């Protein structure tokens, strides 16, 4: 106890010094800067105390007072917040290059050893990095009919295993939380693409890694104080503890990816591309060093692909299951549609999607209503730019409030037009690289789970629509039970003479 007491005067003196220094800088900036509209910002903390538990809702409320383009201050950083469909699309689409930057945040530097494409700044090197990642995803998911079918089969296999696990967890009328099983299923799809390997739902090590990754979004999103108040790292406090945990989980996850990529390097054959890791090794490890990409960028790319293909898919299905259990009348209507279009003798496929417009619309309405990626990963401006007549200087941190786009009046309904208006994957040069495969995955998981099962909540539980805040909004802990509809169909691999794999559906006893 005594050594800590001795440190208290030094901590107080440091805080007073920082406060005075910040106050002087604040007064100078207030006089010199041509400020955008926005709320009054206090010295040292700025507007941090006003954000509350759900910053996206606070930002939307502030937009009603100050307009869709305004400025706040968090710690020592001036930040522009963009709200509403018109301002955000003007920025991300019409001025995509000017808004393609990333701020030099300390948390961003901790991701993938600083080699992440998602979190590094806009540059010639970044453009090459993204091009490689996009072409690799396309090659393994949608380049031609064969890769499309192979990707679909991978998702179908995971979805049918998920059905069996849900039914086991529901045995004797038990109720269960689907969160971790959904995360494992989504992770297995992207791990199969990246590493040619999947993991059992009972793999303790893999589940532990995924549970830690759930904490990733708590530190990296808008409102993370460690990035805007770096002095919080200089003394013990909850923010520093959270950031240290964040660095540890990044090192552990990056170590996991690094080990898998090294295994691929050891057995690499340029004549045989087994999976996405091989494809990326073949490009990045072998390219000229002119573009600045190194071997470390291979691991960074694989990490980005896993991140892009994991959290969005599992969170979307998590919300979908909650809403199905909460609204049984909609679930009944969807069951009737699936039985009419697909029948009971096979599983839904991507080819059925055009005939399942109501099911697709339910997915988009879930995305709109929950807006589970409320604020994009923070951007920064690469040059001076004007949005809605307001000047934003180069190197300004920008928060994009996607939630405000999805909740602008008129409110959405189960209408196909939602597909063009819902914003969940961002837009422009920083649009999520995995958005197309994520949409296919969400559709197949949802359609197969619903085709095979009915989902119910406990009669004693009223499912809450509240959520926890982070890079993605996750439902509060809830429990459901699954009941089999008819016969259990299982995907079984077969081989045709044309050498194209196909699926046979067998009823399981």
Residues of the chain with pLDDT under 50: 1-7, 10, 28, 31-32, 412, 415-416, 493-509
Half-sphere exposure for 66 (CA within 13 Å, toward CB): 21
Tokens of 492: 């079984």
pLDDT of the residue at 33: 53
- Binding-site residue numbers for heme are 432
- Of 307, 380, 433, 296, which is closest to residue 105 (Cα–Cα)? 380
* CATH topology assigned to domain 33-508: Cytochrome p450 (1.10.630)
Give the pLDDT confidence score for residue 5 in this predicted structure: 41
**8-state DSSP, 272:** B
Q: pTM value? A: 0.88
Best CA proximity match to 192, nearest among 489, 471, 437: 437
Q: pLDDT by residue (tens digit) across 288-336? A: 556 678 888 999 999 988 887 788 999 999 999 999 999 999 999 999 9
Q: Residue 456 pairs with which residues in a beta bridge?
A: 481
* Residues tagged in the binding site annotation: 432
Query: Quick one: CA dihedral 125, 127, 133, 136, positive or negative?
Result: negative
Predicted confidence at residue 228, as pLDDT, reads 87
Enter the tokens of residue 169.
Answer: 């967890």
User: What pLDDT does 496 receive?
Assistant: 37
């Amino acid at each position: 106890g005594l050594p800590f007491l001795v440190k208290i005067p030094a901590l107080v003196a440091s805080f007073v010094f920082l406060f005075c220094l910040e106050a002087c800088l604040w007064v100078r900036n207030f006089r010199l800067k041509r400020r955008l509209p926005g709320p009054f910002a206090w010295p040292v903390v700025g507007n941090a105390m006003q954000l509350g538990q759900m910053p996206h809702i606070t930002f939307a409320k502030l937009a009603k007072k100050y307009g869709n383009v305004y400025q706040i201050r968090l710690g020592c950083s001036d930040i522009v917040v963009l709200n509403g469909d018109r301002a955000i699309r003007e920025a991300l689409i019409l001025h995509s290059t000017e808004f393609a930057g990333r701020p030099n945040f300390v948390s961003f530097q901790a991701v993938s050893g600083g080699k992440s494409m998602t979190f590094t700044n806009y540059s010639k090197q970044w453009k090459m990095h993204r091009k490689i990642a996009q072409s690799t995803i396309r090659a393994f998911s949608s380049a031609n009919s064969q890769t499309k079918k192979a990707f679909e089969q991978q998702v179908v296999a995971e979805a049918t295993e998920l059905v069996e696990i849900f039914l086991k967890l529901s045995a004797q009328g038990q109720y269960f939380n689907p969160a971790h099983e959904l995360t494992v299923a989504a992770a297995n799809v992207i791990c199969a693409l990246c590493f040619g390997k999947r993991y059992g739902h009972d793999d303790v090590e893999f589940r532990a890694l995924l549970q830690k990754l759930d904490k990733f979004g708590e530190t990296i999103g808008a409102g993370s104080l460690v990035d805007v108040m770096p002095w919080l790292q200089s003394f013990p406090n909850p923010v520093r503890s959270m950031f240290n945990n964040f660095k540890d989980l990044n090192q552990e996850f990056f170590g996991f990816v690094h080990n898998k990529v090294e295994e691929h390097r050891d057995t690499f054959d340029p004549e045989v591309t087994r999976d996405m890791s091989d494809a990326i090794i073949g490009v990045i490890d072998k390219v000229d060093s002119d573009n600045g990409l190194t071997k470390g960028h291979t691991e960074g790319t694989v990490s980005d692909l896993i991140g892009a293909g994991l959290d969005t898919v599992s969170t979307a299905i998590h919300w979908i299951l909650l809403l199905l259990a909460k609204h049984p009348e909609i679930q009944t209507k969807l069951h009737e549609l699936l039985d009419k279009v697909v029948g009971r003798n096979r599983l839904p496929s991507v080819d059925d999607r055009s005939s399942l417009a109501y099911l697709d619309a339910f997915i988009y309405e879930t995305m709109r209503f929950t807006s589970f990626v409320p604020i994009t990963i923070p951007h920064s401006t690469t040059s001076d730019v004007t949005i809605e007549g307001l000047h934003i200087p180069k190197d300004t941190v920008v928060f994009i409030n996607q939630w405000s786009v999805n909740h602008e009046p008129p409110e959405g309904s189960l209408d196909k037009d939602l597909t063009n208006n819902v914003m969940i994957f961002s837009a422009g040069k920083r649009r999520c690289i995995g958005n197309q495969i994520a949409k296919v995955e969400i559709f197949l998981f949802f359609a197969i789970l619903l085709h095979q099962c009915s989902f119910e909540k406990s009669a004693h539980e009223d499912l809450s629509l509240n959520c926890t805040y982070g890079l993605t909004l996750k439902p509060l802990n809830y429990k459901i039970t699954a009941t089999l509809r008819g016969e259990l169909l299982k995907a079984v691999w077969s081989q045709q003479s044309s050498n194209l794999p196909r699926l046979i559906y067998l009823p399981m006893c």
